[in-house]
Copies of this chain bind each other. A is one copy, B any other.
């Protein structure tokens, strides 16, 4: 029905390109001839990663915590993008090493919460399990709890992360799920030197060796991280609902891949916001047969790519719903005699 309407709008068929597909995909996911981008909800899961002690991030570990304060002040990129678009944003601490002294609660541009599971044990994925089984379960549940806490089902959910060291965890999980060598996945993250990228590759290689032959479900716990697992849990919470999930960049796509391995039906609800500058992202997009909407060389995380792509969903829905049809406007739709 949505596609039939597209064909009747006052424009040459297909001339709105991927905006037409986007409206049709949203309509399919939402089971409605009139796709919507609102209500939208955004969430960012934040966690630290003991693996940072191997020098695999360009930033010191305490930046994760500082960034929570920056969200509280409304000055983080995602806080600006969400506020500007009036998209409610929650930032959920699922494992920042040291809790904030103050700052949890409601702020102008977001709400910051610490999940009780943030205090559960976590390990250095290079040489021990990143999450013991109870921590993994609790992280997945923290994601689901966020989804369950919403008053109404969002038309679009935006799910992101923040955590120094989490491209290493995501690279390890992605390499395992895709059966790739670390070199094919690992990139500069927030801005590593070539030496540090090499070091990150070695860390990922050790992690992969440690869990050789284990299942994809297990891999998320053993070499992933709490932010990744919470994203996976949040995505799975929407499975089978009429909610579209707008996936951010490399790390969110790794969580999406892990979620699809658990529940392949979820794939049909995923829209991919952008192609990250992180090299592993392209491999995941290929695996999921996904074409992202934007390619702006972004590599920040924080759901910033998804929040930047969100206006395209809104405009695609507006065009779908508000353009007139050939019949309504009496514009001739026949091909010209000679063409």
A interface with B by C-beta (< 8 Å): 9-19, 52, 54-63, 66-67, 69-70, 73-77, 80-81, 83-84, 190-193, 196, 277, 293-300, 304, 307-308, 311-312, 314-315, 318-319, 322-325, 328-332, 334-339
Residues in chain B near residue A55, CB distance under 8 A: 336-339
Q: Which residue of B lies closest to A18 (CB)?
A: B296
Tell which of B18, B315, B339 touches A81, judged by Cβ atoms closer than 8 Å.
B315
Pull 11 A–B residue pairs with CB atoms less than 8 Å apart, ordered by A. A9-B77, A10-B70, A12-B58, A12-B190, A16-B300, A17-B296, A55-B338, A70-B331, A76-B323, A81-B319, A311-B312
Q: Which residue of B lies closest to A329 (CB)?
A: B70
A52 to B17, CA, bound (A): 24
A83 to B11, CA, bound (A): 17
Q: CB distance A66 to B329 under 8 Å?
A: yes
Q: How near does chain B come to A148, taking the closest CB pair, in angstroms? A: 30
Residues in chain B near residue A323, CB distance under 8 A: 75-77, 80
Ranked 10 nearest A-B pairs via Cβ: A75-B324, A55-B338, A17-B297, A311-B311, A12-B190, A15-B300, A66-B331, A17-B298, A18-B296, A60-B336
Q: How near does chain B come to A155, taking the closest CB pair, in angstroms? A: 16
A234 to B56, CA, bound (A): 52
Residues in chain B near residue A315, CB distance under 8 A: 81, 84, 307-308, 311
Residues in chain B near residue A297, CB distance under 8 A: 17-18
Q: CB distance B334 to A300 under 8 Å?
A: no
Q: Which residue of B lies closest to A311 (CB)?
A: B311
Residues in chain B near residue A298, CB distance under 8 A: 15-19
Q: CB distance B19 to A75 under 8 Å?
A: no
Q: From known contacts A76-B323, A329-B70, infer whether A59 and B314 are also in contact, taking CB-CB under 8 Å.
A: no
